[in-house]
Copies of this chain bind each other. A is one copy, B any other.
Amino acid sequence: MAKVHRLISVVLRLAAAAAAAAAAIIMVTSHEATSLFGLELEAKYSHIPSFIFFVVAYAVACAYSLLVIFVPPGSAASRLVVMTDVLMGMVLTGAVAATGAIAEVGRNGNSHAGWLPICEQVHDYCNHVMGAFIAGFVALILYFLIIMYSLHVVADPMCPCH
């Protein structure tokens, strides 16, 4: 049973690391130069603080997921891993939410605040950011599954302690 737990955990972590790497790479490579009324406009991820946070969070999540695979199961460190998993899941949720909030303004604008939508001018850039958002969301769901699976194993109803 322990071997099955271990296998499921490793597969989930590898998938999460791959999705996190994809999210960070797609966001970093989002770039578009266009001209509007003769003005050169350049759109890249580093112009928006939330997108920088997204890249850093997913790069850290990717490295963390790969490192945690080497933590021996049943060790004192493996109990700490459940807690760091929850922290990582929360950081990724924050990154996805902040990116989603800004991407929504980029797509729809906000007439009350006078913020115009920019996606019509930089269409490819917006699609790239949307791709990163989707990859990030997949990584987040995988993280959620990792956490739920760890909690299910740790909070074993058959255990006489609980």
Chain A interface residues (CB < 8 Å from chain B): 42-43, 47-50, 74, 76, 79, 82-83, 86-87, 89-91, 93-102, 104-106, 110, 112-116, 118, 144, 147-148, 151, 154-157, 159-162
Contact = CB atoms under 8 A, between A and B. Distances in A.
A113 B98 CA distance: 16
9 contacts: A47-B113, A83-B151, A90-B90, A90-B93, A94-B96, A94-B97, A97-B101, A99-B101, A114-B116
A74 to B, nearest CB: 7
Nearest to A143: B90
Contacts of A48: 110, 112-113
Given A86-B151, A97-B101, 17 more contacts: A47-B113, A48-B113, A49-B101, A50-B97, A76-B157, A79-B157, A86-B89, A87-B144, A98-B98, A98-B100, A105-B105, A105-B115, A115-B116, A151-B154, A154-B155, A159-B161, A159-B162
Contacts of A113: 43, 47-48, 106, 115, 118
Contacts of A99: 101
B157 A154 contact: no
A49 B104 contact: yes
A106 B105 CA distance: 12
The 4 closest A-B CB pairs, nearest first, are A94-B97, A159-B161, A98-B101, A47-B112
Given A95-B97, A97-B97, A105-B102, A79 B155 contact: yes
B50 A101 contact: yes
